Structure formats: structure tokens, C-alpha cells
Amino acid sequence: MRDFIPGIPLIHLQTVDSTNAYASRLLQKGEVQEGTVILADHQVGGKGQGGSEWISDNASNLLFSLVLKPSFLPADRQFYLSMCISHSLAVFLSVLTTGVSIKWPNDILVGKNKIAGILIENTIMGEYLNTCVIGIGLNINQTLFPAHIPNPVSLRQITGIVYDLTEIREKLFQSLATGLDLLYDNKLEIIRTAYLNKLSGLNKWTYCTDDTGQFEGRIIDVADSGELMVLLRNGNVKNYGFKEISFEL
């Protein structure tokens, strides 16, 4: 059962290298209350999955990290945390716009454009998770993006509305709390089903590329470990880790 509220306490910084790095330093120094959020107006060293950079205008978007301590969750099932967070974010955005989906493993799309990214960094003790730092970058009011960033989009670009960042942040925290209730109550199959229902490309034949070249495949499931399960035209199923496969979605 969850006994904390996401966003309490809240540490609001004007500028930081990255909220994940700041949260990790706090954890290394000593006790950090579960549910703590590090919020920044601007990051000078924001990062995404696989070491990619996350660029955001000052005070235009939501940039924060949430500290969790889900010591009940086996390390070999840590992807359920990723599924929980990404689905909670997708549900939140679906109230504000249409066409929201999750691109495996946890990018959030509106149509074919990326509106949010998630970076989860865990520490493990024995066979279970110890601490988790969940970094979220959500494009809210930014209207111009660097040319080298592939297919970014913001809520303002989609809806034409300028959003109050505090108001929208609190609504997002509520959505995260609802999703985390499922995780902390060990309702893993509900999380899995909800995630798959939002997964871009699920059960659709598409052209894929891996280290062997291009082929036709269909996403059919995600393993407990987080590997993507892809059905090939010959009937075989292959599992892929992060960045081992790409799609024409």
C-alpha cells in the first residue's frame, strides 16, 4: 500500500544539471523521503534514454524527478515500474488531447510526435529494488525546438492553449498517484494490460530493422523483463532489448 504522496516534499530549483542527478546526490548523502520531487525550471544537462540529451526552454515545460523506494518489487520485474509511470502519463495527457500512445519502452507520443520522455534509474539490493529516481520531461508551453531533435511536440502546439505549469503539474501528480496505487498494491497484470492497450504498434504488421536488416514484424507482448516480443512472418517470436530494434510506426 502506498503511504506517500507524489510531490510531497517538493524541491523547486531554478537551474540544475539534471533533476535525476540532483535526486541521486540527495540519496547518496542520506535519507530522502519517498515521494520527494525535484522540480527544475531549467536543466543544463538534461538526459534521456540511452544517454541522449533532453533540451527544454527555461520555465516552459515540466522537468522533474520523483524518488521512490519500492523495495517490494523484484529486480527482474522492474519494468512494471516503467509501465506504470508511462501509462499514468499517457492517461493524464489523454484528458487533454487525442492520439496519445506509448512508444516502447516509455516515450509518450501524440500521433507520431514525441511529447514526453521518461528516464528511470534504479538501485538494487539483493533481489529487489532499493531506490528509484524517475525523471520526466513533458513538453507543455514550448513552441520552438532545435532542428536536430526528431519530431518533438508540445501541448501548446497541439491545443493552442498556454498552460499554467503549477496547475498542470498537480494534475499530473494525481495521475501518477493513481497509477502507483496499482503498483504498490501489486496489481501487476492490470498495469501490464493497461500499458499494452496504449502501446504504439501493438498487433500491427510493420517494417522493422534489427542487426540482421529489415523485415516485417508485429509487436505481440512485452516480457516481464521489459524486452519487446515481436512475431515474425515465419511464425517465430524474437525478444529485443532497448535500441536493438526500430520500427516504422
For the chain, the average pLDDT equals 94
pLDDT at position 236 is 95
Q: Answer with the residue of higher pLDDT: 146 or 69.
A: 69
| 47 pLDDT above the threshold of 80 | no
Return the bridge partners of 39, or none.
12, 64
Question: Is the pLDDT score of 50 beyond 60?
Answer: no
Residue 100: C-alpha distances to residues 28, 76, 175 (Å) = 36, 28, 15
CA atoms within 13 A on the CB side of 7: 15
Q: Cα–Cα distance between 244 and 226 in angstroms, integer?
A: 13
pLDDT in tens, 184-212: 999 999 999 999 999 999 999 999 999 99
75-123 pLDDT, tens digit each: 999 999 999 999 999 999 999 999 999 999 999 999 999 999 999 999 9
Q: Which residue has the higher pLDDT, 179 or 146?
A: 179
Q: Is the pLDDT of residue 249 over 90?
A: no
- Please give the pLDDT value at position 54: 56
C-alpha cell at 26: 540527495
The predicted structure's pLDDT at residue 30:
86
- The DSSP secondary structure of the chain, one letter per residue, reads ---S-TTSSEEEEEEES-HHHHHHHHHHHS---TT-EEEEEEESS-B-GGG-B----TTTSEEEEEEE--TTSBGGGTHHHHHHHHHHHHHHHHTT-S-EEEETTTEEEETTEEEEEEEEEEEEETTEEEEEEEEEEE--S-----TTSSSB--HHHHH-PPP-HHHHHHHHHHHHHHHHHHHHTT-HHHHHHHHHHHBTTBT-EEEEEETTEEEEEEEEEE-TTSPEEEEETTS-EEEE-TTS-EE--
Tell me how crowded residue 25 is: count the other CB atoms within 10 A of its CB: 12
Question: What is d(CA 80, CA 195) in angstroms, rounded to the nearest whole number?
Answer: 9
Region of poorest pLDDT, from 27-31, 173-177, 204-208, 229-233: 27-31
Q: How far apart are CA 234 and CA 248, in angstroms?
A: 20
- Asked if the model's pLDDT at residue 14 lies above 70, the reply is yes
Instruction: Tell me: pLDDT of 35 over 80.
Output: yes
Q: How far apart are CA 150 and CA 53, in angstroms?
A: 12
By percentage, how much of the chain surpasses pLDDT 90?
88
Task: Report the pLDDT value the prediction gives residue 220, as an integer from 0 to 100.
Answer: 97
Alpha-carbon gap, residue 64 to 216, rounded angstroms: 38
